[in-house]
Chains A and B, each alone.
Chain A
Amino acid sequence: MAGLSPPDGPGTDSECRSEEDRAQVILVAAFSLAVAFVALSVVINGAIFTQNLATRGDTAGGGDALQQRQQAEQMVGDMLEHTNANYSGTTDITGEFRSAVSDLSNASGFQQSVAGRAVDYTHLSASNGTRVYQDSPDNFTNASAGDNWTVAENVDNTRQFDITITDTVELEPPGNKPFAVNLTDTSSSDTWLLAIAEESGTLNLTATYTDAPDSFSATCTAPEPPSQEVGINITAGLFAGQPCEALRFARNVSGGTDELGTYDIRFNNTENIEGTYQLTVDTTSVGDAPNDEPAVYSATVEYTYRTANLVYETDIRVAPGEPDD
């Protein structure tokens, strides 16, 4: 073979040489094709790897970080509720809440460390508020049996505003001074009025917003239940368990936008309703309510989530039961 046989070795006479030198073109072609096949195998390998890469999931765990954030918000919210329910009488309610967040951080950190994640919650701030409530069925009059009274003043936010009517017979028809929740913007005097009335076996919930040209009025209805009990979750927008568009809490109060301004909350015609209510406001300036207690309105915690490939640090504001919750 050309170049591969020793030139002076045995069998190098002209006859033998011509025999061994044959088929060189085919040989070169075979080598070249072999190289081409190797290159093709590299290409095919690349294609297989691409398919493999395309079917891999979210290895960095961005979904887990968001899921954990959601859980943190839920857990801190539950803890805030628990603190309000059980430590309202103590002098340092935010201190109790802070230590609860610290305990939660330790527990979550330990739990997540098993999966190779570092999770931490740090209490940053909490804003004080007041929970106003009446937990035994009665008219919604104030502590001194006043009929029309101010529940809270200079409110920026309200959460968990629930009314449970225990006796729908007490409700009046729409024209006859029905019970109403009245929100008045402190700067523009725009009002948002929610009237709860009953007429011919039908319950009417009417929200009226007054500030031309954005004024509107919307009504939701529900049949009067035989049990004469009905629940209205105002901040969640539920009337007798059904979503009610009219209930978009404090809609358009303050300047004709959907943002809430600072407003006062009043109850009008409270003798025309019977039941229980509760609401939590972000102010300590409340009226002559039959029951009120200090509460943590909202809290901000710093949430940190780290894995080998992901870092996420953000603040979480927690205010369970706010209208935009």
Chain B
Amino acid sequence: MTDDERAVSITLNYVLAIAISAVLVTGLLIAGANFVGDQQESVVRNELSVVGQRLAADLERVDRMVAAGDDVDAARINRSLPTAAVGERYDIELDASPEPELVLTADGADVSVSVTISNRTPLADSSVGSGSVAVVYDQPSGVIALDES
């Protein structure tokens, strides 16, 4: 009996130390991973917003070019956008509703950003992937749309 209870405190001490450090380390890792994940989502959102605004500026630029011309045969701007936002690929969709907007969606990061557009020339629903994108005025139908560059 007394032999059995010898040196128990050393083992107990060891197990407790392992358990406490495991809990602490796990907590640290979870907090760190969450922090990185949150930061990534926020940065992806920011980057999509900036990319969307640049593309919206191009759309409005083509819109101005079409409005300034008398009989526009062609108006096109090619734009090289980042292929990924913090490692996440994204899709761009032009929503040609009465209040038109660009919707950029990065499925991997579960982030979606929309940027409103102000236009005079009619737009057409269109969508493209990330990378090289073109804003094109389609002369026969008289609408502006997104296209792969």
Residues of chain A whose beta carbon lies under 8 Å from any beta carbon of chain B: 25-26, 28-29, 32-33, 36, 39-40, 42-44, 46-47, 49-50, 53-54, 56, 58, 60, 62-63, 65-66, 69, 300, 302-303, 308-317
Contact = CB atoms under 8 A, between A and B. Distances in A.
A69 B79 CA distance: 22
A47 B73 CA distance: 40
Interface in B11-30: 18, 21-22, 25, 28-29
Contacts of B99: none
B117 interface: no
B29 A33 contact: yes
Interface of B: 18, 21-22, 25, 28-29, 32-33, 35-36, 39-40, 43-44, 46-47, 50-51, 53-54, 57-58, 61-62, 64-65, 68-79, 82, 85-87
A257 to B, nearest CB: 21
A25 B18 contact: yes
Contacts of B74: 311-313
B104 to A, nearest CB: 13
A49 B83 CA distance: 13
Given A53-B54, A58-B61, A66-B64, A315 B70 contact: yes
Contact of A54 (B35, B50, B72): B50
Given A309-B79, A310-B78, A313-B74, A46 B85 contact: yes
A49 B82 contact: yes
Nearest to A25: B21
B70 A36 contact: no
A222 B79 CA distance: 55
A43 B50 contact: no
Contacts of B46: 47, 50
Contacts of A29: 25, 28-29
A216 B46 CA distance: 56
Given A40-B39, A60-B61, 12 more contacts: A25-B21, A32-B32, A42-B86, A43-B40, A46-B43, A46-B44, A54-B50, A54-B53, A314-B68, A315-B70, A315-B73, A317-B70
